A = this chain, B = another copy of it.
Amino acid sequence: MESVKEQLDLIALDTEEVLPPAELKQKLEKAVSKNKPLNIKFGVDPTAPDLHLGHAVPLKKLKELQDLGHVVTLIIGDFTARIGDPSGRKATRPQLTSKEIEKNAKTYTDQAFKILDKGKTKVAFNSQWLAKMDFTDVLNLAGNFTIARLLERDDFSKRYKEGLPIGLHEFLYPVMQAIDSVEIKADIEVGGTDQKFNMLAGRELQEKLGQEAQVVITLPILEGVDGVQKMSKSLGNHIGLTEAPEEIFGKIMSIPDALLIKYFKLASTMSPSEIEKIEKELKKGELNPAQAKRDLARSIIEIYYSQKEARSAQDHFDRVFKEQKAPDKIPTVDIEKKELKDSRVWPVKLFKLAGLVESHGEGRRLIEQKGAYINDKAITDIEKNVSVKSGDVLRAGRRKFVRLRIK
């Protein structure tokens, strides 16, 4: 194992907070002297199996910890997922079946193992212990938390002040996460800053039950491609780990320049010294941001695919974006003749039939924003039918192409 000093330095790198630093040092000293790896907890929500670069931030930190010799326990929150949101029982609850959860967990871990070391990762489902608990257990454990403390959690306090409802069951979620820490005897828990409260709850419960408290390591939240909001699938500003290399490349090229260095630090595998060099060159104007983004995009794609695919994604980008030419391979979409009237069709309907938009509403917006093209010519009149024939190329925005085949 690396020395305590080296480990501390590496762990501190690009983390938001270590709570408390003195205890991390103690734990590392013990681990080094006994040559016994620490058990690092990371909680996973299997309702959202598609990982994006935001998820990759903690995974990257976990991999660093594995490289230092420690072991990661991925807790799949299948118990919570199976409950779904119990509020508003009259509405249908988006309750996941065990099968769906298992499938999601598989998808999640498959993606996570693109970053993590499988040999140093344990996977545990929290239903193993939570599903076995009865009302008595719940009361005993809940008694370790106070209402005032729970109301301190940012989102709870905000909702309470604004008069928005907080279900009593929601107060039990931090308790469940805390139980997970106790159950696996976590030495460290890693998560985004938004998980700080829940991770500290784990510390508290461990202490109250006479266990050594885990150290909490919070990591920065990565903004999405809009550069404003936290990266999130539901906000549509995400870069998915399973997206095609071309998609990832294009999306990275669209991030604001101001986020470049943060992305390098949190999402690439470049070393701190390399990143420092890039930062200096950008400042001096020796490197332009577009070029830096190309390097960033390739570096990220190399993690999830390969160097070859990263290069090919860049070539694709250059062709389509820079030269504004259609890409090599344009998928063909069949349109039935009966949908047309004398070869003519309402453009909104056409783009929906071609699968380029999901609804007429989205189609309208696309056309209104001058984002719908037929053979590189923008559609300008939303109400006027357009004439199409087999071989025509439709384009939505800058990156989505299909070739029509009228049957």
Contact = CB atoms under 8 A, between A and B. Distances in A.
A149 to B, nearest CB: 8
**How would you classify the secondary structure of chain A's contact residues: helix, strand, loop or mixed?**
helix
Contacts of A143: 85-87, 89, 167-169
B136 A147 contact: no
A146 B133 contact: no
Most-contacted residue by chain B among A132, A134, A163 (CB, 10 A)? A134
A185 interface: no
A168 B140 contact: no
Contacts of A147: 147, 151, 156, 160, 165-168, 170-171
Interface string A118-151: 0000000000001111111111101111111011
A370 interface: no
Contacts of A148: 160, 163, 165-166
A259 interface: no
Most-contacted residue by chain B among A135, A142, A169, A172 (CB, 10 A)? A135
Interface in A305-348: none
A82 B208 CA distance: 21
A180 to B, nearest CB: 13
B133 A169 contact: no
A79 interface: yes
Interface in A161-206: 163, 165-172, 175-176
A170 B175 CA distance: 14
Interface residues of A, number: 43
Interface string A250-289: 0000000000000000000000000000000000000000
A83 interface: yes
Contact of A142 (B130, B144, B172): B172
A168 B166 contact: no
A200 to B, nearest CB: 15
Interface string A57-79: 00000000000000000000001
Number of copies: 2
Contacts of A85: 143
Most-contacted residue by chain B among A82, A85, A133, A142 (CB, 10 A)? A142
A142 B160 contact: no
Most-contacted residue by chain B among A147, A150, A160 (CB, 10 A)? A147
A225 B169 CA distance: 43
Contacts of A146: 165-168
A139 B89 contact: no
15 contacts: A86-B140, A86-B142, A89-B209, A90-B208, A131-B135, A132-B134, A133-B134, A140-B169, A142-B167, A142-B171, A145-B167, A146-B165, A147-B147, A147-B170, A148-B166
A8 to B, nearest CB: 33
Contacts of A163: 148
A82 B136 contact: yes
Given A86-B143, A147-B166, A168-B175, A134 B131 contact: yes
Contacts of A209: 89
A167 B136 CA distance: 15
A209 B156 CA distance: 26
Contacts of A134: 131-135
A397 to B, nearest CB: 41
